[in-house]
Amino acid sequence: MELKDIFPVWEQLTPIQQTKLTESAVRRSVKKGTVLHRGSADCIGLLLVQQGQLRAYMMSEEGRQITLYRLFEFDICLFSASCMMNSLQVDVFIEAEKDTRLWVIPAEVYKKVMEASAPLSNYTNEIMAARFSDVMWLMEQVMWKSFDRRLADFLLEERALEGTDTLKLTHEAIGNHLGNPREVVTRMLRYFQNEGMVQLSRGTVEITDMAKLAELAGHGKR
């Protein structure tokens, strides 16, 4: 997989612009758990996922977290290059959720090409709009949706991502995804267990009644 496979507007760039991006791009392989970007503390550049899975999250001063969205194969992360836009002031953290291979394009190189190329600039706009839409959706969830529905939704999403009913997740990890304290997660999972929807054991949540969980998450209503 090459850069041209990731950027749909590649053919609309000039040869010089293509060369600039290609020559500046650095391949990296990171282990699961690696934190690639820490809010406003760095500006490492655009991340282009070749293989693996990244997680974008927000963190409070006290260390509480909430997952904003995931990045998969072919996805591009702009927020690790937020210094390329004056108005982009977001404290997003990025970590590898699985072993991940990616390219890094330095922010200043990307910025220069984007400033001269309407196609790349418009494409960047679309990426940002997509992430913005993700965050607005999450905001709606957090504001208006009860925690039991959000937790049910999250477990079903994890099941789909991992392809198994047996999820290796601590209650603290779930809390870090959903932005809730561990105790709140534990209490709700125990309720789910009493209702026969999950089976809990150390570090594992096993989904035992997917239909009931999906009903709680309100999937039928969509």
Binding site for its own copies (CB under 8 A): 58, 60-62, 64, 66, 85-92, 114-118, 121-122, 124-133, 135-136, 138-140, 142-144, 179
User: Closest CB to its own copies among 118 and 211?
Assistant: 118
Q: How near is the Cβ of 131 to its own copies at its closest, in Å?
A: 8
Q: Which of 213, 203, 215 is nearest to 156 (CA)?
A: 213
User: Closest CB to its own copies among 70 and 98?
Assistant: 70
Q: How near is the Cβ of 70 to its own copies at its closest, in Å?
A: 16
User: Closest CB to its own copies among 1 and 88?
Assistant: 88
Q: Which of 90, 60, 95 is nearest to 78 (CA)?
A: 90
Question: What is the Cα gyration radius of the chain?
Answer: 19
User: Closest CB to its own copies among 30 and 68?
Assistant: 68
Q: How near is the Cβ of 47 to its own copies at its closest, in Å?
A: 17
Q: How near is the Cβ of 60 to its own copies at its closest, in Å?
A: 4
User: Tokens representing 97?
Assistant: 């959720």
In DSSP notation, 144-186 reads HS-HHHHHHHHHHHHHHHHTSSEEE--HHHHHHHHT--HHHHH
User: Tokens representing 63?
Assistant: 């260390």
